[in-house]
Amino acid sequence: MASTEEDKMDIDGEQEQEQEQQPLGRVEQARLDAYYQYDFPVDLMERWLGYGNSSIFKRREFVFQRTAADGDTMMARYKSFDNAAGLRNGLLNFRPDRVEIGPVYTHQPKLKDKAIGVFEATQRELIFDIDASDYDDIRVCCKDKKMCDQCWEFMISGVRILNRLLTETFGYKHLLWVFSGRRGIHCWVSDEKARMLTNDQRAAIARYIQVHVGGKTLEEAKLTIERDLQQGWLHPTLEHIYKQVETAFSNIVLNLDNVNNLSNRKVSDDIMSCIQTRLTPSQSGNSLSKISGILDKCVDGQYTPQHAWSLITKIQGPEKRPITWVFKVIEFMYAYPRLDTMVSTKRNHLLKSPYSVHPGTGLICVPFVVSELDDFKPFRDAPHVARLQTKELPRLSLFEDYVSKLEGTMDLDETVTERDILG
């Protein structure tokens, strides 16, 4: 049997270890066993991942991870099951503290060593990962693996904008949003034309959406659209969602109830540095001193963040030349989703399963819907497995509703071409 590059393990960006708060290691194994025996929604998993075809489910890869008492991690790849009962038995036998989902292969993964012909991935949901640690250059409340309700606002902004891009620009209808259990959000796009995307097509979509290209500080970070903005042009797709970017920026940076607001000295200094590195002396004139003075008054409490930003965005360069483009750069830096694009570009990428237990926190990876984002609080609404009452799995109706709507489209004849996918 021949193997391909698809065989190489590619796992979602969270290479997590235990967090001090609520590590799974403190949970009795008996409670985890009870969760897999009575609560983990294997029937819904079969309905979702099989797409009305038992062969598809049988060829789906599952990956189980188990952490030993000494901290060593065992990972079992290429596990597959005939049905929901088989999946439950597999969970009970291996007793994983983390469950990953992979692609659908040409053959059953558990039989890959006996398969005739090439063993390769044939389909997989289009997936996205937004991680709070990718906002470390702009959030002041938390760093690294930590996340709080204040920096959760960055995630809310990212979800709303990404959801709009995927539904309005690409026309996808079946998006499952899941809290990753610590500091991230996963999106599973289950439309048939999304599942059939090649690696190149997935990469093209990720590049089309991605704007932020990294940097350890706000000063160093770059946007792919900076030259366009400087020339007074914005791609029609981004122009279409710009008002949403403005609103999200206001909800975070101009909101006194959020510690990441403009009156925070570090936020103010970071934004000032970001402006200084982008405006040449011929572009700035005395505008930099004006902006600095306004920011100082905001930090001192003389101006509210809202008032300070309204004054700043009216400032012009020499000879009244507009410099509004640099202010738009900052708004996109703070409000536009920052994607781990490597998660989205390959069919064989593994991603933590909905309703998996997060091994570092003990929290269950629960789904949510975009319309409830203002009310959804991950550390309140995602239960810890040790405190979960048996047969009372929360938010299950959201998952069931998602699967039911997806099943309602399975009899449609979708002919998918590269032109349909990439436009």
Average pLDDT of 286-299? Answer: 96
Mean pLDDT calculated for residue range 147-151: 93
pLDDT tens figures, 84-114: 999 999 999 999 999 999 999 999 999 999 9
Give residue for tokens 């967090």: 19
Strands (E), 255-403: 349-352, 367-368
pLDDT of residue 21: 45
Query: What confidence score (pLDDT) does residue 258 get?
Result: 96
Q: Answer whether residue 414 shows pLDDT above 60.
A: no
| Residue 98: φ, ψ to 5° | -160, 135
- pLDDT(406) > 60: yes
pLDDT at 315 over 80: yes
Say whether pLDDT at 19 is over 50: no
- Confidence at residue 5, expressed as pLDDT on a 0 to 100 scale: 43
pLDDT digits (tens, 9 = 90+) for 219-260: 888 999 999 999 999 999 999 999 999 999 999 999 999 999
- Collapsed DSSP state (helix, strand, coil) of residue 383: coil
SS3 351: strand
Type of residue numbered 403: V
> Of 396, 335, 403, which is closest to residue 160 (Cα–Cα)?
335
Mean pLDDT of the chain: 89
* DSSP assigned state of 388: P
Instruction: Considering the candidates 16, 61, 125, 137, report the single residue annotated as catalytic.
Output: 61
Report CA-CA distances (Å) from 385 to 25, 195, 342, 379: 11, 31, 30, 13
Choosing from 131, 134, 191, 340, which is the catalytic residue?
131
Which listed residue (129, 134, 191, 331) is catalytic? 129
* Mean pLDDT across 4-18: 43
Q: Which residues of 183-201 are buried (b: 16+ CB within 10 A; e: fewer)?
A: bbbbbbbbbbbbbbbebeb
Could you confirm whether 61 is annotated as catalytic?
Answer: yes
Mark whether 6 is an active-site residue: no
* CA separation for the pair 168, 396 (Å, rounded): 27
> Where does 300-393 have alpha helices with state H?
305-312, 324-335, 341-344, 378-381
Q: Which two tokens stand for residue 31?
A: 């409670």
User: Would residue 340 show up in a list of annotated catalytic residues for this protein?
Assistant: no
User: Locate tokens 């997806």: which residue?
Assistant: 406
